[in-house]
């Protein structure tokens, strides 16, 4: 896969077609994407760097530098930008801009779509948004996400879901292993994730770039961190994104 060629047709159209009932975006959203693209560098055959995000073209693996912000708290997010509005409700933070993460996902040939986020919502529950959008290729918006860090001289790697628990059952639900790349909304105010700093959400948030597909994701009171599984605050974490099985 040639990432630079892929940019031409994935960059703006892939995002705009998945904006939900949105007004035409301001020009600055496209400008932000163009600026992010300029940071893309090939560091080895098939390997690219986008302001610290490592992109592996063959495997479609993304590696995003993060750190632990909170070990113990109720959460709505697993990852936010360090200057985001919801850093008081997130486990991890990153200095990487949301627009750069969205671009990296597109370049690795993930395709945005909300299909899958609400598939476990009970019929009697109100939908957080009116209708779903689908990726061009079925399943191309489904992600597996892991966390990797060094502890006591030993490399550790666990699913991101190990850091999260259901407050009703006090355990990690098995369906939290699949995440959905929905792509943040672009509306008259611009690229929403860039403004809010919301990147990976456990509670349904269309402004975030990635959402949980777990049952109960419509509840803002359900999700809390799993302190026993989370390394010390300020620990450097590499967030690893790959295609979901």
Q: Residue 80 and residue 82: Cα distance in Å, rounded?
A: 6
Maximum pairwise Cα distance, the chain:
51
Written in H, E and C, the secondary structure of 187-233 is ECCEEHHHHHCEEEECCCCCCCCEEECCCCCCCCCCEEECHHHCCCC
DSSP 122-157: -TTSPPSSS-----SSTTTTEEEEEEEEEETTEEEE
- Residue 14: the pLDDT is 45
Q: Are 135 and 113 in contact (CB under 8 A)?
A: yes
Contacts 24+ apart (CB under 8 A), 148-155: 148/237, 148/238, 148/240, 149/231, 149/235, 149/236, 149/237, 149/238, 150/236, 151/231, 151/235
With tokens 């486990």, the residue in question is 91
- pLDDT per position as a tens digit, 26-61: 557 788 888 888 999 999 999 999 999 999 999 999
Extents of the domains making up the chain: 3-117+141-243
Please give the Cα distance from 167 to 164 (Å, whole number): 9
CB atoms within 10 A of CB 196: 18
Structure tokens at 18: 């998945």
pLDDT tens for 107-138 read 999 999 999 999 999 999 999 999 999 999 99
Mean pLDDT of successive 10-residue stretches along the chain, which has 245 residues:
45 44 56 88 96 97 98 97 97 97 96 97 93 96 98 97 96 94 92 96 97 96 97 98 95
């Amino acid at each position: 896969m040639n990432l630079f060629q892929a940019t031409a047709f994935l960059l703006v159209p892939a995002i705009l077609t998945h904006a939900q009932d949105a007004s035409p975006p301001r020009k600055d959203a496209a400008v932000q994407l163009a600026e992010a693209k300029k940071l893309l560098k090939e560091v080895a055959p098939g390997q690219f760097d986008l302001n610290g995000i490592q992109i592996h073209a063959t495997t479609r693996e993304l590696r995003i530098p993060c750190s632990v912000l909170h070990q113990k708290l109720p959460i709505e997010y697993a990852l936010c930008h360090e200057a985001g509005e919801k850093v008081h409700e997130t486990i991890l933070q990153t200095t990487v801009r949301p627009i750069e993460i969205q671009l990296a996902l597109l370049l690795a040939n993930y395709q945005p779509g909300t299909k899958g986020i609400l598939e476990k919502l009970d019929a009697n529950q109100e939908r957080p948004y009116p209708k779903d959008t689908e990726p061009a290729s079925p399943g191309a918006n489904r992600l597996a996400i892991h966390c990797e860090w060094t502890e006591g001289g030993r490399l550790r790697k666990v699913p991101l879901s190990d850091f999260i628990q259901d407050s009703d059952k006090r355990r990690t639900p098995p369906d939290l292993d699949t995440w959905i790349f929905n792509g943040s909304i672009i509306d008259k105010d611009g690229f929403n994730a860039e403004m809010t700093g919301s990147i990976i959400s456990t509670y349904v948030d269309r402004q975030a770039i990635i959402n949980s597909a777990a049952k109960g994701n419509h509840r803002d009171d359900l999700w809390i961190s799993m302190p026993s599984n989370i390394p010390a605050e300020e620990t450097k974490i590499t967030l690893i994104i790959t295609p979901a099985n």
